Homo-oligomer: A and B are copies of this chain.
């Protein structure tokens, strides 16, 4: 089996061969193939810029792999700020001895994921570290996007705003947990690029105040951050939150809160209440948003801003913010 060698990260001949044989094969474009120290880009005047490191374990899971996740995660961070993704940079940190075939699968998956969005990988870096000094493969991606919708912010949520999720929550977290614990079943990550759906929505005339993709910390983290940033509380109908039966089952079995589980292909929206129906129609017309639902509203806080769940029994309970170890290496 062909394995990655230390020399392929040394900056010498082997590194150049790896770049040409693998990275340029899948990501070829004039910016990248020029092999300069920086890509020179003609850009619009208002940009979004974001970065993420990916350390997910296992590297391959039902519904995706670290490559697809790294691309989707960064493109989605641009999308939820109203920015059309344009350019990506990718840094690979690879353990010596990593199977070349797996690296190629991951690179191919990244290339396939960006293809339909007209996104170019314009900068990259490859480091190889000695065996045992990193677990397999980590990837860092940074993204640049063109802002096409202004004013989205976690500070912009107003009392009365309708809170909508674009699909079932917790799928990615449950899938990774199941893989690690050996509970093999129907669980699949929701890992996906949201841009096309986001663009459809933002160009429809609906008034969106905030969007966020609920990754680490899940729906709960998003709502708590929004509550703190906008100074509102949320009253959320538990029964309205779409959750797959398998995810619910795993959470009940392990005594975990599905609202703390990461999604990687969903977004949460705060929209003007009058636009909630139209938003749902648009989301549900797309396969990525088919299980979208209105889950509650922003309300005037009594005391400090909080997230209140209305249970199926009609009682209220406070949703705790995520804390503790949750699930290391979830993304």
Contact-residue size bin, chain A (C-beta under 8 Å from the other chain): 35 or more
| Nearest chain B residue, comparing its CB with the CB of A89 | B51
A12 touches which of B5, B44, B132, B326 (Cβ 8 Å) = B326
A90 touches which of B51, B122, B153, B212 (Cβ 8 Å) = B51
Q: In whole Å, how far is A111's beta carbon from the nearest beta carbon of chain B?
A: 17
**Judging by beta carbons under 8 Å apart, are A13 and B322 in contact?**
yes
A129 touches which of B46, B49, B55, B262 (Cβ 8 Å) = B55
| Nearest chain B residue, comparing its CB with the CB of A81 | B38
**Judging by beta carbons under 8 Å apart, are B325 and A7 in contact?**
yes
Q: How many angstroms between the C-alpha atoms of A306 and B36 in the bound complex?
A: 19
**Judging by beta carbons under 8 Å apart, are A48 and B53 in contact?**
no
Known: A49-B41, A90-B51. A35 touches B229 (CB 8 A): yes
| Nearest chain B residue, comparing its CB with the CB of A212 | B37
Q: How many angstroms between the C-alpha atoms of A72 and B221 in the bound complex?
A: 34
A293 CB-CB contact with B under 8 Å: no
Binary contact track A215-231/B, C-beta < 8 Å → 1, others 0? 11100010001000100
Q: In whole Å, how far is A318's beta carbon from the nearest beta carbon of chain B?
A: 14
The copy count of this chain in the complex is 2
**Judging by beta carbons under 8 Å apart, are B77 and A50 in contact?**
no
Stretch at the interface among A100-108, A138-146, A243-251: A138-146
**Judging by beta carbons under 8 Å apart, are A127 and B55 in contact?**
yes
| Nearest chain B residue, comparing its CB with the CB of A52 | B125
Most buried by B among A11, A54, A122, A216: A11
Known: A10-B216, A36-B81, A324-B10. A45 touches B43 (CB 8 A): yes
Which positions 16-69 of chain A face chain B at CB distance < 8 Å? 16, 34-55, 57
Known: A49-B123, A89-B142, A133-B135. A154 touches B11 (CB 8 A): no
A147 CB-CB contact with B under 8 Å: yes
Binary contact track A300-329/B, C-beta < 8 Å → 1, others 0? 000000000000000000000111111111
Q: Which residues of B contact A14 (CB under 8 A)?
A: 323-324
Question: Which A residues are closer than 8 A to B by beta carbons?
Answer: 5-7, 9-16, 34-55, 57, 76-78, 80-81, 83, 87, 89-93, 96, 122-125, 127-130, 132-135, 138, 140, 142-145, 147, 153-155, 212-213, 215-217, 221, 225, 229, 260, 262, 321-329
What are 17 A-B contacts with C-beta separation under 8 Å?
A: A6-B328, A7-B323, A7-B324, A10-B217, A10-B324, A10-B325, A12-B217, A12-B326, A36-B153, A37-B213, A38-B50, A38-B80, A39-B48, A49-B122, A53-B92, A134-B135, A142-B142
6 more contacts with CB within 8 A, not counting A10-B322, A10-B326, A12-B321, are A36-B153, A36-B154, A39-B48, A40-B48, A40-B81, A51-B124
